[in-house]
Structure 1
Amino acid sequence: MASTELPPQEERPIGFGRMLRKEDPRFIRGRGRYVDDIQLPGMLHGAILRSPLAHARIASIDTAAAMAHPKVHAVITGKDLEAQGLAWMPTLSADVCAVLATDKVRFQGQEVAFVVADDRYSARDALELIDVEYEPLPVLVDAKKALDPDAPIIRDEIEGRTDNHIFDWESGDAAACDEVFARADVVVAQDMLYPRVHPAPMETCGCVADYDRVEGRLTLWETSQAPHAHRTLFALVAGLPEERIRVVSPDIGGGFGNKVGIYPGYVCATVASIVTGKPVKWMEDRTENLVSTSFARDYHMRGEIAATKDGKILGIRTRVLADHGAFNTTAQPTKYPAGFFHIFTGSYDIEAAHCKVTGVYTNKAGGGVAYACSFRVTEAVYLVERMVDVLAAELGMDPAELRMKNLLKPEQFPYENKTGWVYDSGDYPTALRMALDMVGYDELRREQAEKRRAHAERGSGDGAAGGGAGGELMGIGVAFFTETVGAGPRKHMDIVGLGMSDGAELRIHPTGKAQLGISCQTQGQGHETTFAQIVAEELGIPPEDVEVVHGDTDRTPFGLGTYGSRSTPVSGAATAVVARKVRERARIVAAAMLEASADDLEWEKGRFFVKGDPSRGATIQEIAMGAHGTVELPEGIEPGLDAETVYDPPNLTFPFGAYVCVVDVDPGTGVVKVRRFVAVDDCGTRINPMIIEGQIHGGLTDGVGMALMQLISFDEEGNCLGGSFMDYLVPTALEVPEWETGHTVTPSPHHPIGAKGIGESATVGSPPAVVNAVIDALEPYGVRHADMPLTPARVWAAMQGRAEPPA
């Protein structure tokens, strides 16, 4: 594992490099400020009554007993909101979602009523006093049956709706694929499921709404990854003037996509504050978060690869059925309802590709959230990397050799893939070779061969009896991924009509200290450190002297927020651009101070000096004081060094990586142990290696969890079976190895500092590496594929030739 030791303070460069996170002191001292820490005078508390049924008509709602509770101030139902035109709200996918159910409930846990009381406990108690009469309806939880003629219609409130179809989306060239597949020597196909999982952040969702009746102003503290987008949507939903809405996102205990959208609790708390004239707080408990907030994945995929007999991949095609639950709450760009699934072509030089994705409604909580992935890239990479391993098995080729044979070469960049997107830069073979060398791939294959011989000599019966000393099955999984992050550009991407660009505002104080306002929102990524380092790199101001402001719509420029790993690719670029604007203003001020022409000044980090005379110069701090002082500036030049910008990226950025996972599987129990994991990543220019390593470690842990244990499932009545951390398992330090990381650096040619982003790469690349390793371990049993999560029961069932574990 890469060292996390820091160089001595005096040796640390001003700018990029390893430095401790500026935000950590307040967290480790318990001084973080989360939404649940907000306490306002006279504040009331809200609680939500949720449906116990997955699909039912609402015959009646009796709130009289709840209203009679001595500590209850209000009970709000869907009919109350309907009278104000607030019963339905737009989602980030331009669908509409019920705030509180009016006609019927469409998933277990859907919001039915909102109680406002003196305290959280009284509000919860009052929920028990609301009497709702339900008329059960047939339940649909199997996406494969969603389009059957006799399937129950989930969204029958939509006029003319006769089925559960949401969208069809295609990418690539179907005819070209047909031609390639017709002449291929080998065609392999595989059905697979990327199961429904949940972001499960440490902090659940919540808000505090405070409506000032005198000023007509709403202040909303939210667990939001996109404060500015929320402000605009609240203005559209509530009819309040946008300039009278302030959204504040304080410290956030993890987001992972779960906190991108607007939840009914936010709207209900706002309405309650307007009705009561007092601040209202609403916070979920863990079960509410797991059962009712946005899920991710749930993609049923069939992949096909065409190749020559010597392993040259010619084409890939896929058909996908996407289960989006009862409401399409995904935050995908408008033109791409299936997100960036266009990356299903992977990292390989192929002739043709085509995919079709169909989205459907089911009786589950709204899905489609971009959970720690860049808009469906995780599913796409999983598909292609599993298919490459299936092809390798069919051809009898080593999976690493097959990948090396087909990877794009450095001289092919910029490379336009077969769905029309241009990969910016990369050296894929070098990254794969590094990963194989780090893990000692050839030696591992020799060890595996010896263990398989020993296993065969003992006989599969003896091994299955308990897998004693040396009896484990050893598997080696390889995965290579190209990610696509940094949404916009605006010409291609918007969410509900809002272009995906980001702003930055940089203010230099007279003393040379700086304040940077950014429109992205941090949830643990270290923005207060890395963005200060970008300013430091451009201006020579120590990072400690740069305050980074985020999460407050009154203090920051407009932007679309943080998700899809767009912080550094978009807001980071905006920061570099605005810092360069300040530097050019500083050049003019320095010229006036030094009585020289601006064209005669040279820049070194932190100061301008006169060409040929380094002794005649001025530091950025001296220039800042001069800009605010009495220095006579050229006509038309305003005092100060402030600047602002809006960055519209010309293209996405494309980080990539090569991962190798080594597992041991107990043949008697099916228990999988991840023995080693090597991750080589390329995120372009590296700002703070320590933060990069932390992001990678978290993403790898997340990926192991998805591959081996995480699953949101439902019974036939639509009951969610993952409503607590007793049922929905997340990985701990006991389930993961000590990560081994490496890196290559190929800067993005169009990004101002060459950065590509790293926040989600490990989550994209690790699940296929783990699954490939487990399937490789089960090769002696003839297993070609098994769906995630590869729990002991699923692994054992696969070894017995069963598609699913026994009931």
Structure 2
Amino acid sequence: MTTTDPDTGFRALDATPMGYGSMRRKEDARFVRGKGRYLDDIVLPGMLHAAILRSPHAHARIVSIDTSAAEAHPRVRAVITGETLAGLGLAWMPTLSHDVQSVLATDKVRFQGQEVAFVVAEDRYSARDALALVDVEYDPLPAVIDAQHALDADAPVIRDDQEGRTDNHIFDWEAGDAAATDDVFARADVVSSCDMLYPRSHPAPMETCGSIASMDPVSGKLTVYTTTQAPHAHRTVYALVAGLPEHKIQIISPDIGGGFGNKVGIYPGYVCAVVGSIVTGAPVKWTEDRSENLMSTSFARDYHMRGEIAATHDGKLLGVRVTVLADHGAFNGTAQPSKMPAGLFHVFSGSYDLAAAHCAVTGVYTNKAPGGVAYACSFRITEAVYLIERLVDVLAHDQGWDPAELRRTNLLRSEQFPYTTALGWEYDSGDYPRTLATALDMAGYDELRAEQKQVRSAYERGESPMLMGIGLSFFTEAVGAGPRRTMDILGLGMADGAELRIHPTGKAVLRLSCMTQGQGHQTTFAQIVAEELGISPDDIEVVQGDTDQTPFGLGTYGSRSTPVSGAATAMVARKVRDRARIVAAAMLEVSPDDLEWEKGAFRVAGDPAAAATMNEIAMAAHSDLELPDDVEGHLDATCVYNPPNLTYPCGAYVCVVDVDTATGQVKVRRFVAVDDCGVRINPMVVEGQVHGGLADGIGMALMEVMAFDTDGNHLGASFMDYLLPTAMECPSWELGETVTPSPHHPIGAKGVGESATVGSPPAVTNAVLDAIRVRHADMPLTPAAVWRAVRGTPLRTDLAIG
């Protein structure tokens, strides 16, 4: 669907391809003209504004709260405390992990930035000013910041609201065969081990979280405009918390300025906005600022991992053994399928043919913000891939093996698919050696190694402070959360709905339960319908984000969009096509079996001139055409897609860095990314997703850090401290692809939205450590961290990183 200009090298895009191809995004016309409709653009009649008073302490008893001065403010309409909520039965709300979290603190605060009081005023400035008038007396308590000390006998108990609790332990969970893995390690020729941290990071979307709640006292209907990736799940949670029937709750997600998992869960501010509207009788709007977003909304990662890898003398990988300490913050709000408290971390065996694997994960509470979200990973897969790819490089370092050859020797082969891992996951398809070979060829791996030797030789002669590093990673991701028999959140099975209606004029409306945050859903899903029915994508409207207008489903995160909602779209379009066949048969006065489908039309076999186009069929379906007795008119259908399995995209990445040993500065010179996400619906959209994920990976590997001092003070609550990558830190990405369709997905697509963020952090880390010949150093590899690693200087011990 694309052509390349030989002079400029740029691809020309077809304006309206009839199916798959790099068409321009339909939604961009309004966005580039400033016509997007975000939460901040919504103004309701009589709308009030709200602000949240947050705790300055990470851990403290609340002695008293005096709201009288704030309530006396002439523009303040209400001040809501935990006591107010308790009187309404709304003091606590469920988290995505079946834990409970206080909406506003009552007994004590458990992390810096926790919500203590909620002020509603006539304008936002007055609401913010009135926060200073709420007088809270705190009795500070010792804070638990380091997960490794959370289980110490003398550690203060954070969740003492839970009856009988005497420690900070949340869960113990394991996967794999411990005895078989121990046996493999006992017989191994070589074993390498490494302690590593995947530090706490933040999705940091461009648009922060917010909500407008409007309770109609006459109809009893609650309408909530909110920045959510999962509107239907939010509606169900509100119904459970507030006791309202779901048909009396409407959740509307307008345009969202990025989500990345940060906008999956329900935050206390959302609930307080609802209560504020009930109390005042007016719509109430709450929007957090950047510091609030960084301090108190869901984080990601924070895994302390010890990994061991076993191999033979000739480089055959045998097994992996892992223990993990997971820091879940003050409330266990981790978004994950409930049957797996450590998420999908047990794909840590990666892309390799291993005889055995075992992991044990322990979750603990600390005095940090609760979390974490499925940020650019499918429920802890990012940590799992980082672990195995670092272990492979550590083994190569210890044994003097080439990391590319070690991977090539041990990757799964195409004839092994479908492949059941040592932990029971069934990978659907892939040609891993070809994917790796494509990446190495694109990078010119042998030439890079030769250049690296020359650079090191100059460094060792004292002629230059520069070193060059080459880092590899190979990943298998598991996306498309489902099937619902094994995966749910809060008891809601992970299946998605789709509704498709073709109007008499041949124009179509597709309604989906997923929710875009910039991924191009309006274009991609229209293209799926276009491919199945032969209707132009321009004639297909995609509706999302309004629970009154769309079928039930669990939303968009964990790369679920194409694997689940995309499948639902294809299936519902095929249902419509089956009905269209019957209508066409009646029009042409033949048996449906006599018709052949040619995109956009049914033709009579042997008589190609006798045909009915989809536009003609649509009009006839709404006419007085006589149809069989058991066939209804109209062209519409519904579908609930329950995926039979996850889909498993893969990728091979090669990163080249230059390291200035005098300053510790790292420059990513080149990055080659070869992804296999199955069938690509819109290659341009796929490339955009990969670009963003690669930038994410550079940020996490080199600069993004959420640090806390020993009192629990958050040290990264602004973009002056929590650094994000810009175009200055990113090279011109070099992208390649291999395609192995998923055999169980209706169109063979696997998903790609998070792949690059999964595969890029280990590639960048491996490249930096390859340059400075250091066995391991934890992310983020800031200039200070690299400078210390080169000189063997220990890191500071008065901060908690993660």
For the aligned pair, the TM-score class normalised by the smaller chain equals: over 0.9
The residue number in structure 2 matching 1:131 is 135
Please say if 1:91 is aligned against 2:82: no
Superposition deviation, residue 5 in structure 1: 4.4
**Count of aligned pairs between the two proteins:** 792
Q: Distance in 1 between matches of 2:784 and 2:371?
A: 27
Please say if 1:604 is aligned against 2:598: yes
Q: Distance in 2 between matches of 1:302 and 1:474?
A: 28
1:729 partner amino acid: L
The residue number in structure 2 matching 1:73 is 77
Please say if 1:803 is aligned against 2:777: no
- The percentage of aligned residue pairs carrying the same residue is 74
The residue number in structure 2 matching 1:777 is 771
Q: Secondary structure at the match of 1:33?
A: coil
2:243 partner amino acid: G
The residue number in structure 1 matching 2:327 is 323
- Match 1:252 to one of 256, 273, 276: 256
Superposition deviation, residue 802 in structure 1: 2.1
Q: Secondary structure at the match of 1:714?
A: strand
The residue number in structure 2 matching 1:757 is 751
Q: Distance in 1 between matches of 2:767 and 2:56?
A: 40
Please say if residues 65 and 129 of structure 1, whose CA atoms lie closer than 8 Å, have aligned partners that are also in contact: yes
Please say if 1:362 is aligned against 2:353: no
Question: Which aligned pairs between 1:198-209 and structure 2 lie closer than 5 A?
Answer: 198-209=202-213
Q: Secondary structure at the match of 1:742?
A: strand
Superposition deviation, residue 13 in structure 1: 3.7
Q: Secondary structure at the match of 1:259?
A: coil
Deviations 1:93-142 (A, max 9, x none): 11000000010000000000000000000000000000000011111000
Please say if 1:590 is aligned against 2:584: yes
Superposition deviation, residue 92 in structure 1: 1.0
The residue number in structure 2 matching 1:703 is 697
1:337 partner amino acid: P
The residue number in structure 2 matching 1:194 is 198
The residue number in structure 1 matching 2:476 is 482
Please say if residues 473 and 652 of structure 2, whose CA atoms lie closer than 8 Å, have aligned partners that are also in contact: yes
Name the CA shift for 1:307/1:558 in 2 (closer, same or farther; >3 Å): same
Q: Distance in 1 between matches of 2:604 and 2:455?
A: 70
Superposition deviation, residue 584 in structure 1: 0.1
Q: Distance in 2 between matches of 1:232 and 1:749?
A: 33
Please say if 1:45 is aligned against 2:49: yes
Please say if residues 212 and 218 of structure 1, whose CA atoms lie closer than 8 Å, have aligned partners that are also in contact: yes
Q: Distance in 2 between matches of 1:9 and 1:383?
A: 42
Q: Secondary structure at the match of 1:345?
A: coil
1:455 partner amino acid: Y
Please say if residues 107 and 326 of structure 1, whose CA atoms lie closer than 8 Å, have aligned partners that are also in contact: yes
Deviations 1:192-223 (A, max 9, x none): 00000000000000000000000000000000
Please say if residues 6 and 18 of structure 1, whose CA atoms lie closer than 8 Å, have aligned partners that are also in contact: no
- Match 1:22 to one of 22, 26, 29: 26
The residue number in structure 1 matching 2:266 is 262
Q: Distance in 1 between matches of 2:141 and 2:413?
A: 56
Q: Distance in 1 between matches of 2:796 and 2:506?
A: 64
Question: Which aligned pairs between 1:5-404 and structure 2 lie closer than 5 A?
Answer: 5-7=10-12, 9=14, 13-404=17-408
Q: Secondary structure at the match of 2:518?
A: coil
Deviations 1:382-427 (A, max 9, x none): 0000000000111111000000000000000000001101000000
Give the gaps of 5 or more residues in structure 2.
Answer: none
Please say if residues 14 and 24 of structure 2, whose CA atoms lie closer than 8 Å, have aligned partners that are also in contact: no
Q: Secondary structure at the match of 1:448?
A: helix
The residue number in structure 1 matching 2:662 is 668
The residue number in structure 1 matching 2:498 is 504
Please say if 1:787 is aligned against 2:778: yes
Deviations 1:45-66 (A, max 9, x none): 0100000000000000000000
Q: Distance in 1 between matches of 2:283 and 2:227?
A: 16
- Match 1:734 to one of 728, 746, 749: 728
Deviations 1:426-466 (A, max 9, x none): 000000000000010000000111222222222xxxx7xxx
2:775 partner amino acid: R
2:400 partner amino acid: G
1:381 partner amino acid: V
TM (normalized to structure 2)?
Answer: 0.98
- CA RMSD, 1 decimal: 1.1
Q: Secondary structure at the match of 1:665?
A: strand
Moved more, 588-597 or 447-456: 447-456
Q: Secondary structure at the match of 1:642?
A: strand
Please say if residues 794 and 805 of structure 1, whose CA atoms lie closer than 8 Å, have aligned partners that are also in contact: no
TM (normalized to structure 1)?
Answer: 0.97
> Deviating runs (4+, > 3 A) in structure 1?
2-10
Q: Distance in 2 between matches of 1:8 and 1:373?
A: 30
Q: Distance in 2 between matches of 1:439 and 1:405?
A: 19
2:631 partner amino acid: I
1:790 partner amino acid: L
Question: Which aligned pairs between 1:706-717 and structure 2 lie closer than 5 A?
Answer: 706-717=700-711
2:418 partner amino acid: P
Superposition deviation, residue 168 in structure 1: 1.1
Give the gaps of 5 or more residues in structure 1.
Answer: none
- Match 1:628 to one of 610, 622, 625: 622
Please say if residues 109 and 291 of structure 1, whose CA atoms lie closer than 8 Å, have aligned partners that are also in contact: yes
Superposition deviation, residue 7 in structure 1: 4.1
The residue number in structure 1 matching 2:453 is 449
Q: Secondary structure at the match of 2:310?
A: strand
Superposition deviation, residue 331 in structure 1: 1.1
1:397 partner amino acid: W
Name the CA shift for 1:499/1:215 in 2 (closer, same or farther; >3 Å): same
Name the CA shift for 1:8/1:207 in 2 (closer, same or farther; >3 Å): closer
Q: Secondary structure at the match of 2:709?
A: coil
Q: Distance in 2 between matches of 1:711 and 1:242?
A: 40
Superposition deviation, residue 630 in structure 1: 1.3
Q: Secondary structure at the match of 1:796?
A: helix
Superposition deviation, residue 806 in structure 1: 9.3
1:668 partner amino acid: A
